[in-house]
Structure 1
């Protein structure tokens, strides 16, 4: 159906929404929640867990959780708590919470600074993996601010600190790929996405972005395989349904495209993905 090709080349792509509109607060809360894992043994250092999260030492766990709770309820209160706690010896955990509080308020520039300072302080204390995680948070704040070049630099810094294999490394590679797509570096984005898929295979966003990148590169078999995995993992995501239709129409499966786009509209009619799917449906001939 060649009449649809210009539409699909110019239409909404899910990685653009992922970079600019994916829930910014949710992303930061996910990172902060990972930091607030069960505490390490009293007097011990934080140690990596199988899921990639690093426990907060007992000395800092309670005030850190209190700070996060205050930031969720009121970002200003979270900033005030973090500032006071930092002066009282809260170490990089206080700066971490400060970054989280600024992110809650969508004050991305001070959030970036707080996360960077927290990362540097963690590294000075020999906590290299904690530093890596904080560089990743700085990168996500930079993505949210629209500074994709700074985001890439922060993600590179995170990966250079030697994150252990697993979910956390995969998520950083996925975030790095989002920045690289926004920068137009598709080759490097593919390399990071391939690592993300191997390290974090349960994240549907990785398969979605991989399918989209493959479609845009003309690798339609790869796009089909990866969007099928995204659908399996996240059948009720409008962005996934939209991309399923985009891939289907390019592989001469108009019936599948129609069904996928209709599903996207049902799931989230007012979202960018739902609206793009609705527009695509108007361009299909009657009956498929």
Structure 2
């Protein structure tokens, strides 16, 4: 099958950062924030939560709120909110710097929340196309050894995305192995595992991983697109066609649908031969 050979060549190329598009900056759990400030006023946790909520709704207003808080002597939590406001406003360069400073200040304070803020810095850097810097920040988050469970798995997943973007596929594979243990409930773990396995020509593993992603997120366009990619390489053209058609039906205006249409056109034009998938669109990150 001519087109299958073309796809296999594509799968063996170094991974493009676009396949591992940065996930949104997430608000970490608040159980890592010191609770009461002295006096009768609201706790620092409550002030931070309010500021983060405002950043979701009105990043510009939250920027002012956070700067005022910093001006009144606010600690690293105030900078965390400022970074989140910048990220929500799309200024990932500014967010990266502010998160990194907040994480450093949390380190100085020996606060266990530092690891989460280093992870935020990593995600902001990745969103700003600074994959090597992102990797360093994810390294810092993991080095604190305070993250457990899903939070730990998600940082390994994020570092895998950064490592793919820098061409460190072996490192990415190692991180994804850990993510499949600690972040097994996240469909993105399995989707990215399938994509990397396919690119490394391990179609058996890719099929296993994409099946789990489809179990967790059966209507996700990115999952269906990748399922088609794995199927077509495995010689299952009918399954590939069905998956790509499902992408177009489920999300016709999405980047995944554009790729699926191109693949379907190749499949038709090839008169029964197997197509090389079109330029792949980034997976849609799941809520975390």
Q: TM-score, structure 1 length as denominator?
A: 0.85
Q: 1:16 to 1:260 in 2, by over 3 A?
A: farther
Query: 2:3 — aligned with what?
Result: 3
Please tell me whether the aligned partners of residues 14 and 209 of structure 1 are also in contact (alpha carbons under 8 angstroms): no
How far apart are residue 38 of structure 1 and its match?
9.9
Query: 2:212 — aligned with what?
Result: 229
Instruction: Within 5 Å, give how 1:176-255 maps onto structure 2.
Output: 176-255=159-238
Please tell me whether the aligned partners of residues 32 and 113 of structure 2 are also in contact (alpha carbons under 8 angstroms): no
Distance 1:8 1:277 in 2: 17
Please tell me whether the aligned partners of residues 122 and 138 of structure 2 are also in contact (alpha carbons under 8 angstroms): yes
SS of aligned partner of 1:283: helix
RMSD: 2.6
SS of aligned partner of 1:137: helix
Q: Does 1:279 align with 2:273?
A: no
Instruction: Within 5 Å, give how 1:246-265 maps onto structure 2.
Output: 246-265=229-248
Distance 1:15 1:270 in 2: 23
Query: 1:92 — aligned with what?
Result: 76
- In structure 1, list runs of 5 or more residues that go unmatched: 45-57
How far apart are residue 18 of structure 1 and its match?
4.9
Please tell me whether the aligned partners of residues 19 and 143 of structure 1 are also in contact (alpha carbons under 8 angstroms): no
Instruction: Within 5 Å, give how 1:1-288 maps onto structure 2.
Output: 1-7=1-7, 9-10=9-10, 16-20=17-21, 27-28=24-25, 31-32=26-27, 34-36=28-30, 59-127=43-111, 129-285=112-268
SS of aligned partner of 1:202: coil
Tell me the number of residue pairs that the alignment of Structure 1 and Structure 2 aligns: 267
Please tell me whether the aligned partners of residues 37 and 44 of structure 2 are also in contact (alpha carbons under 8 angstroms): no
Please tell me whether the aligned partners of residues 35 and 43 of structure 2 are also in contact (alpha carbons under 8 angstroms): no
